[in-house]
A and B are shown apart, each in its own frame.
Chain A
Amino acid sequence: MDAQSSAVGTVAKTESATAVLLRFTPQPEHVRTARLVAVAHARRVGVEAGLLDEVRLAVGEACSRAVGLHQRHCPGEPVVVVLDAIDESDSGMAPDRFVVTVADKVSGAVPGPRDGATGATGASETSEAASEAAAGGLDDDEDLDDAEMGLAVLTGLVDDLDITSGPDGGSVRMGWPVKDF
């Protein structure tokens, strides 16, 4: 199995047959495509209209993060996105959750304690770090580190968020409720 097949398989094997799977070279112009597909699929499976902007921004942030990681560490590897509506409550009825997983092939990319990867406290700490850095208090970089700002947006925006990393790469998993069909 080549590297691309492995990346797809790693993510896809736990998803249902109705999943939509995107695989794209780590180029910034493809992030917009991923956003458009995510919103279209979210609408189709029944995510309420008021959440679609959140889906669009969150998927964009997660994909931008993955593209940045791949461009720095493995530009030949594709970014993989899986979009699916699942029966998370295991009710045996219609899917109740729209889940998006953005997978990268870079190990050890989960941020440190200061960044706060998940949860309300993490979001608060991350946004505070972002605003302090913006005010010029933390670093001398010309622009604020995009990855840190991206995490601030993700953690502040998405309640159901899980950022993980392993030896074969990391993933950002995000979920939103699905209305009754």
Chain B
Amino acid sequence: MDLKLETRDENGRTIVKVGGEIDVYTAPKLREQLVELVGAGKYHLIVDMEDVDFLDSTGLGVLVGGLKRVRAHDGSLRLVCTQERILKIFRITGLTKVFPISDSVEQAVTAVD
């Protein structure tokens, strides 16, 4: 399964909707997308992971890289995820303390970072 990426702007944030599997093979595509957005001046990102079927440590590394990039511009990176099997990976690595995680895109768009 390939990685699907869609982006749109809403309320001053850029939403990156991710679908499929984020692993050692597909993660570079997500990294490229995040780098491109930051390069285009999009510093407030929401990564919607509700359609992600699989996430591994390479994907986590890419998200952390994205967070560092937007923070360098006083930006933010918020995740949308309610899938327990994905959330478990963030908990195992302690990254729930690093990423703000919302239950829905609507909630993420109105959240104060």
Q: Chain A interface (Cβ within 8 Å of chain B)?
A: 28-29, 31-32, 35, 53, 56-57, 60-61, 64, 67-68, 123, 127-128, 130-131, 133-136, 142-146, 149-150, 152-153, 156-157
Contacts and interface: CB of A to CB of B under 8 A. Distances in A.
A-B residue pairs, 8 tightest by C-beta: A131-B94, A156-B92, A143-B65, A149-B57, A28-B25, A150-B57, A127-B94, A64-B24
A64 B58 contact: yes
Nearest to B28: A28
Nearest to B55: A57
Interface string B26-48: 00000100000000000000000
Given A134-B98, A144-B60, 20 more contacts: A35-B54, A56-B54, A60-B24, A61-B57, A67-B24, A127-B94, A128-B94, A130-B93, A131-B94, A134-B67, A134-B95, A135-B98, A136-B71, A143-B61, A144-B61, A146-B57, A150-B58, A153-B92, A156-B92, A156-B93
A157 B62 CA distance: 20
A130 B71 CA distance: 18
Contact of A143 (B62, B71, B85): B62
Q: On chain B, which size bracket covers the interface? A: 20 to 34
A131 B93 contact: yes
A28 B26 CA distance: 9
A95 B67 CA distance: 45
Contacts of A142: 65, 68-69
A31 B23 contact: yes
A149 B61 contact: yes
Nearest to B89: A153
Contacts of B95: 130-131, 134
Given A60-B56, A61-B56, A135-B98, A144 B64 contact: yes
Given A142-B65, A143-B64, A149 B23 contact: no
Nearest to B1: A32
Given A136-B68, A143-B61, A153-B57, A28 B94 contact: no
A130 B94 contact: yes
Interface string B94-112: 1101100000000000000
B94 A157 contact: no
